[in-house]
Amino acid sequence: MKLRDVVAGANASMYHRLDFQKIRGVYYPRSEAEVVEAIEQARAKGYEITPKGGGSGLSGACTGGNRDRFIVSTLQMKELLTISKDQGYVDVQPGATPDEINEVLEPMGMKLYVSPSSRDIATLGGLLATDGGGNDTWANGTMRDNTVRVKMVLYDGRRLIVDWEGVRSDDAELALELNKKDMTIHDVASAHGTLGFVTELRVTIRPLVEEHLMGAIAVYEDFDALGSALDRMIKSETPIRYGEAIVEAHKDVRDDLTPPILILEFPEKEKASIAETTDFEEVDSGELERLKDIRIKLPKRNPNEGVQAALFEGYGFFEDSLRGMQSRMEAINGLLIEDGFEPFAKYGHGPSKWYLGDNTPAFGLIMHSREIRPTDKTGKELFETVLKIVDLCDDMGITPKPEHKWPFSDKAKKTRIEELRTIIGEGFNAFIFEPECASETLSSMV
């Protein structure tokens, strides 16, 4: 095994057990021409392609499963190709991170407003593949909201340009067929690299905004009170700039906090409008940073006894499930406890935004979760609990893994991608569409 193979297989999900012998080639192209060359070699040998960015995603798609495959990395494709302050966009290769782009833009008084917590690692191509965002998504949207167009290479080497109006291609017949299907950026977003290899993105940039922000903490008696407060914020389009919930936390790591709480940051001039949606206590800048630090470190700390694990990272509470959080949280924790897990920490972006599989925007709380894992369970047994959680979320009106749609329990999104793949080809990440992808392939990788 080569070090390059191990690095290529690394990812932030729990799907770590890979058969590295099935990674038949690892490529680090610097240009579209080199991408085409790598794809040609894979096609000639009958191997699939797995696009790979920074590996910070939680879906496992960037591993490619356990099929024979070439991994084509974007990590050498970081060039900013065009900067247009007047028209508010940059053209950039897919391997650049938000931090790298903003390092260039901010001295010009401009910024790309996509800020996931992994913005120093996550690549733009990967962010679009999962339609990622961060704690500013409520104000600035997800990655698709900030993408104007993409250039893609298909498995057979044909090129596409996809924007919000449709598709262009040198192959007029291909463009016609895809435009009949109304293919847009919506389809590339959250597709997990299954449609093709993105070689360039045009993303929106805006002027840096200087405003006086104030910090606050809101404490709630139970989960219903937290959810109802978020529901009021969403309905009133509250101008929150930073909103993070600590829904619950183990006594060993919550310090002096008593969850559920919201940590908020908003323009001082909006103090009165925020007060109409929730009671809060103002905090100074030092206390605000302390609260943010506790929240950031929750997934990085362990209890005094035992080890935490990211069993199932994402729950999207919205509409009825947001307003009725109490019973749903009790059901989630009851399932975890029944299967031998101890709830450790639940936290996340709120208010926030994501898209359902039919491209309907949803607004609510994206809650991440950590558990103290039992020591006597196999990887397959751990994953059986994941499948139970997905079913429970579907039953309770919660979007499972809202930023990732993994493993495509959202049937609308999966069906749409399969329809497009009948037109453009199926050489990218086909393992996702295996009939037993979740119960067999993914469970074997835990």
3-75+427-444 CATH fold: 3.30.43
Cα 5 to the chain's mean position, in Å?
Answer: 24
Q: Which residues lie across from 80 on neighbouring strands?
A: 92
CATH assignment of 80-207? 3.30.465.10
What residues contact 381, with CB distance under 8 A and at least 6 apart?
A: none
**Could you give the CA distance from residue 416 to residue 431 in angstroms, rounded to a whole number?**
16
| C-beta of residue 228 within 8 angstroms of C-beta of residue 317 | no
Q: Residue 248: phi, psi to the nearest 5?
A: -155, 155
pLDDT for residue 417: 95
pLDDT for residue 406: 62
pLDDT for residue 5: 55
Question: What pLDDT, in 10s, does the model give residues 47-83?
Answer: 999 998 887 777 777 888 888 999 999 999 999 999 9
Terminal Cα-to-Cα distance of the chain (whole angstroms): 20
* DSSP code for 208: -
To which residue do tokens 């782009």 refer? 101
**Could you give the CA distance from residue 440 to residue 17 in angstroms, rounded to a whole number?**
13
Give the CATH number of domain 213-400; options: 3.40.462.10, 3.30.470.20, 3.40.1280.10, 3.40.50.300.
3.40.462.10
pLDDT for residue 196: 97
CA distances in angstroms from 238 to 118, 208, 226, 336, 403, listed in the order given = 25, 20, 15, 34, 22
pLDDT for residue 106: 96
What residues contact 44, with CB distance under 8 A and at least 6 apart?
A: none
| C-beta of residue 345 within 8 angstroms of C-beta of residue 249 | yes
Instruction: Specify burial of residue 76 (Cβ count, 10 A radius: 0-12, 13-18, 19+).
Output: middle
Of the candidates 345, 394, 343, 351, the one whose C-alpha atom is nearest the C-alpha of residue 368 is 345
- Judged by DSSP in three states, 239 sits in coil
Query: Domain limits of the chain?
Result: 3-75+427-444, 80-207, 213-400
pLDDT for residue 1: 47
Low-confidence residues of the chain, pLDDT below 70? 1-9, 404-408
